[in-house]
Structure 1
Amino acid sequence: MRTATRLATTLLLTFLASSAATQATAGEATAVIRADQEVGKISRHVYGHFAEHLGRCIYDGIWVGKDSSIPNTDGVRNDVFDALKKLEVPNLRWPGGCFADDYHWRDGIGPKDQRPKRINMHWGQVTDTNAFGTHEFLDLCEKLGADAYLAGNVGSGTPDEMRDWLEYMTFDGDSELANLRRQNGREEPWKVPFFGVGNENWGCGGNMRPEYYADLYRRYATYCRNFSGDRITLVACGANGHDANWTKVMTERIGRRMPAISLHYYTVYPAWANKTTATGFGEKEWAAVLSECLRMRSAIGNAEESLDEIDPNNRIGLYVDEWGAWYQNEPGTPGYALYQQNSLRDALLAGITLHIFHEHNDRVRVANIAQVVNVLQAMILTDGDKMLLTPSYHLFEMYRVHHDATRLPVELESPEYSHEGHKLPAVSLSASRSKEGVVNVSIVNAHASEAMDLTCTLEGVDGDQVSGRVLTADKLDAHNTFDAPEVVAPTAFNDAKLDAGKLSVRVPAHSVVVLSVE
Structure 2
Amino acid sequence: MPEATAVINLDIPGPTISRHLYGHFAEHLGRCIYGGFWVGEDSPLPNEGGIRLDVVEALRALDIPNLRWPGGCFADEYHWQDGVGPRETRPRMVNTHWGNVEENNHFGTHEFMALCELLGAEPYINGNVGSGTVREMSEWVEYLTRDGDSPMVRLRKANGREEPWRVKYWGIGNETWGCGGNMRAEYSADLARQYATYCRDHGDNKLYRIASGASDDDYKWTETLMQQISCFGCEATPKNFFQGLSVHHYTLSGPWEAKGSATAFGTDDYYRTMLSAKDIDRILTGHSTVMDLYDRGRTVGLVLDEWGTWWDVEPGTNPGFLYQQNTLRDALVASTHFDIFHKHAARLHMANIAQTVNVLQAMVLTDPDTDALVLTPTYHVFEMNKGHHDATSLAVHLRTDNARRRVGDADLDTVSASASVKDGTVLISLTNLDAEEPVDLTLDLRGATIGEPEARLLTADRIPAHNTPQAPAAVAPRAFDGVKSTGQGLALTLPPHSFLTVRAPLA
- TM > 0.5 fold call: yes
Please tell me whether the aligned partners of residues 406 and 412 of structure 2 are also in contact (alpha carbons under 8 angstroms): no
How far residue 341 of structure 1 moved from its aligned partner, in angstroms, is: 0.3
| Closer, same or farther: CA 126–271 of 1 in aligned 2, 3 Å | farther
Match in the other structure for 2:233 = none
How far residue 251 of structure 1 moved from its aligned partner, in angstroms, is: 1.5
Match of 1:160 among 117, 128, 135: 135
Match of 1:124 among 99, 103, 119: 99
How far residue 187 of structure 1 moved from its aligned partner, in angstroms, is: 1.5
Asked whether 1:248 is paired with 2:223, we answer yes
Q: Which amino acid aligns with 2:290?
A: S
Following superposition of structure 1 onto structure 2, how do residues 225-374 of structure 1 map, counting pairs within 5 Å?
Answer: 225-255=200-230, 256=237, 257=240, 258-268=242-252, 272=256, 274-374=258-358
Following superposition of structure 1 onto structure 2, how do residues 80-159 of structure 1 map, counting pairs within 5 Å?
Answer: 80-159=55-134
Q: Which amino acid aligns with 2:36?
A: G
Please tell me whether the aligned partners of residues 270 and 328 of structure 1 are also in contact (alpha carbons under 8 angstroms): no
| Closer, same or farther: CA 65–475 of 1 in aligned 2, 3 Å | same
Q: Which amino acid aligns with 2:384?
A: M
Following superposition of structure 1 onto structure 2, how do residues 455-494 of structure 1 map, counting pairs within 5 Å?
Answer: 455-494=442-481
Asked whether 1:32 is paired with 2:7, we answer yes
**Quick one: distance in 2 between partners of 1:203 and 1:494?**
49
Asked whether 1:395 is paired with 2:381, we answer yes
- 1:318 partner SS: strand
* Larger CA deviation: 408-417 vs 151-160: 408-417
Match in the other structure for 2:486 = 499
Q: Which amino acid aligns with 2:372?
A: K
Deviation track 1:444-500 (CA, whole Å, cap 9, x = no partner) reads 000001111111111123222110100000001110112111100000011101233
Deviation track 1:317-352 (CA, whole Å, cap 9, x = no partner) reads 000000000001100011110000000011010000
Match in the other structure for 1:188 = 163
**Quick one: distance in 1 between partners of 2:217 and 2:333?**
19
Match in the other structure for 2:372 = 386
Match in the other structure for 2:397 = 411
How far residue 247 of structure 1 moved from its aligned partner, in angstroms, is: 0.8
Please tell me whether the aligned partners of residues 282 and 476 of structure 1 are also in contact (alpha carbons under 8 angstroms): no
Please tell me whether the aligned partners of residues 214 and 254 of structure 1 are also in contact (alpha carbons under 8 angstroms): no
- 1:149 partner SS: strand
**Quick one: distance in 2 between partners of 1:392 and 1:501?**
32
- 1:349 partner SS: helix
**Structure 1 residues not aligned, in runs of 5+:** 1-25
- 1:477 partner SS: coil
**Quick one: distance in 1 between partners of 2:95 and 2:257?**
26
* Larger CA deviation: 205-214 vs 169-178: 169-178
Runs of 4+ in structure 1 over 4 Å off: none
| Closer, same or farther: CA 240–96 of 1 in aligned 2, 3 Å | same
Match in the other structure for 2:234 = none
Please tell me whether the aligned partners of residues 100 and 151 of structure 1 are also in contact (alpha carbons under 8 angstroms): yes
Q: Which amino acid aligns with 1:508?
A: P
Please tell me whether the aligned partners of residues 416 and 423 of structure 1 are also in contact (alpha carbons under 8 angstroms): no
Q: Which amino acid aligns with 2:450?
A: G
Match of 1:53 among 19, 28, 38: 28
Match in the other structure for 2:415 = 427
Q: Which amino acid aligns with 1:392?
A: T
Q: Give 1 or 2: higher helix fraction.
A: 1
User: What value does the CA root-mean-square deviation take over the aligned residues?
Assistant: 1.2
- 1:424 partner SS: strand
How far residue 252 of structure 1 moved from its aligned partner, in angstroms, is: 1.9
Task: Give TM-score scaled by structure 1 length.
Answer: 0.93
Sequence identity, in percent?
Answer: 50
Please tell me whether the aligned partners of residues 8 and 446 of structure 2 are also in contact (alpha carbons under 8 angstroms): yes
Deviation track 1:379-419 (CA, whole Å, cap 9, x = no partner) reads 00001311100000001000001000000111111134325
Q: Which amino acid aligns with 1:372?
A: T
Q: Which amino acid aligns with 1:343?
A: T
Please tell me whether the aligned partners of residues 19 and 65 of structure 2 are also in contact (alpha carbons under 8 angstroms): yes
**Quick one: distance in 2 between partners of 1:185 and 1:228?**
21
Please tell me whether the aligned partners of residues 348 and 444 of structure 1 are also in contact (alpha carbons under 8 angstroms): yes
- 1:39 partner SS: strand
**Quick one: distance in 2 between partners of 1:91 and 1:423?**
35
Q: Which amino acid aligns with 1:406?
A: T
How far residue 300 of structure 1 moved from its aligned partner, in angstroms, is: 1.0
Asked whether 1:514 is paired with 2:483, we answer no
**Quick one: distance in 1 between partners of 2:259 and 2:120?**
37
Please tell me whether the aligned partners of residues 287 and 423 of structure 1 are also in contact (alpha carbons under 8 angstroms): no
How far residue 73 of structure 1 moved from its aligned partner, in angstroms, is: 1.4
